[in-house]
Amino acid sequence: MIRRIAAVAALIPAMLGVTSGAASAHPAPKATAAVVTLTYDASRAGQWAGALAQGAKNWNASVHNVQLKPASSPSSANFVYVATSGWPQTTLGPIVPGGNRGQVQLGQEAVDEGYDMTRIAAHETGHILGLPDDYSGPCSELMSGHGPGTSCTNAKPSAAEVAQVDRNYAQGAAAVSPKQHRIVIDAWPAPALAGAH
């Protein structure tokens, strides 16, 4: 009798066309009918060009409802990257086409402290897409920024971060509710050495 119950229980998923096992904690979001395209100007990004290209590539490979592309001219960009000597700072989005123009200041001080340029570029782009900082998060979370220290070079968003960005742009550009264009300043200080005074 127990064998028959076990056999029937094993057949139920097959009969229903489902697989057994745990479901994904973050199901893959489906693309909207109209994917939002955000254009950026990197003409003033200097040495950050390669890091920006990789950061945009990482976001484009992960999200479904928004894509990042270089602008055809600086004046047509939805947001701009600028190399600066200070700390990174960014307009908190989500930025939308036709809305207020966003700006990412790529601060050299973070690089001087030992942080990875591609992680910084991708992290700051996450702010443009509407993600806040979460410094207490692990290295696997891009928006944990400097929290995990200089050894963290992960420049790809986590599944939860991808899902949030896809939700931000799920209904297309017209439905996006931008935040009050405040500036997020990211000080990426190197962690203090144990026992240092």
Strand order in the sheet with 36-44: 66-70, 36-44, 79-84, 102-107, 89-91, 183-185
Cα–Cα dist 91/88, whole Å: 11
End-to-end CA, the chain:
72
Cα–Cα dist 160/62, whole Å: 11
Cα–Cα dist 125/59, whole Å: 9
Of the residues 109, 113, 124, 141, which is catalytic?
124
Identify whether 124 is a catalytic site residue. Answer: yes
- If phi > 0 it is left, if psi is from -120 to 50 it is alpha, else beta; for residue 152 that is beta
* Contact criterion met (CB below 8 Å) for 96 and 78: yes
What are the residue numbers of the active site?
124
